Amino acid sequence: MELNRRTDQVAWGPSGPLFSSRSLSHWTTAFAVLATATALSCGALAGQVPGQQPPSPNPDRPYLSPEANRLPNVNDQMRMREKKLKQQNFEAANTERKKQIAGDSEKLITLAMALKAEMDNTANGALTPDLLHKVEEIEKLAHEVQEKMKLTVGIN
């Protein structure tokens, strides 16, 4: 192998030439450039903690990351609409149940007061078939109110 002794020198290994001094100087230069670029980029980020927002140029308006500003995709929008509609339907049904419970409770109080007044009018406190019918009606209405109250819970 013929080489110009002033520009190229060859390093020899057990199986032949390893590298020339010219290619070594190119690799050394490339490594130095890469190390400098890495050091500069790390130095620029040294003041910033990972996960922390950069300071806002306008202190009156906070910095919002692009992820916070993105619009939800079509599937997310559909899920949000369905969830909102489900919540509105639940609230409407719950309001209707509460109105029915209030009306049934008033009716229950009225029936109970009427039953008490009739019981006080009977001399010996005996239950007539008419009074037994009113007791059964009160019991049925109280059970219905109780069932409606069980349904008036939170949304799952």
pLDDT along the chain (156 residues), means of 10: 50 58 67 75 57 65 74 89 94 90 94 89 79 91 89 60
CB 97 within 8 A of CB 151: yes
Within 10 Å of residue 105's Cβ, how many Cβ atoms?
15
Cα separation, 21 vs 10, whole angstroms: 6
CB 99 within 8 A of CB 145: no
CA distances from 80 to 74, 77, 84, 100, 135 (A): 10, 5, 6, 30, 49
Judge if pTM exceeds 0.75: no
| Predicted local distance difference test score (pLDDT) of residue 1 | 47
Within 10 Å of residue 18's Cβ, how many Cβ atoms?
12
| Predicted local distance difference test score (pLDDT) of residue 110 | 94
What is the phi-psi region of residue 16: left when phi exceeds 0, alpha when psi lies from -120 to 50, beta otherwise? left
Q: Helices 129-151 and 74-121: crossing angle, nearest 10°?
A: 160
| Predicted local distance difference test score (pLDDT) of residue 53 | 59
Cα separation, 138 vs 111, whole angstroms: 7
| Predicted local distance difference test score (pLDDT) of residue 19 | 54
Which residues 6+ apart lie within 8 Å of 143 measured at CB?
A: none
| Predicted local distance difference test score (pLDDT) of residue 153 | 60
| Predicted local distance difference test score (pLDDT) of residue 79 | 94
| Predicted local distance difference test score (pLDDT) of residue 29 | 80
| Predicted local distance difference test score (pLDDT) of residue 16 | 57
| Predicted local distance difference test score (pLDDT) of residue 70 | 78
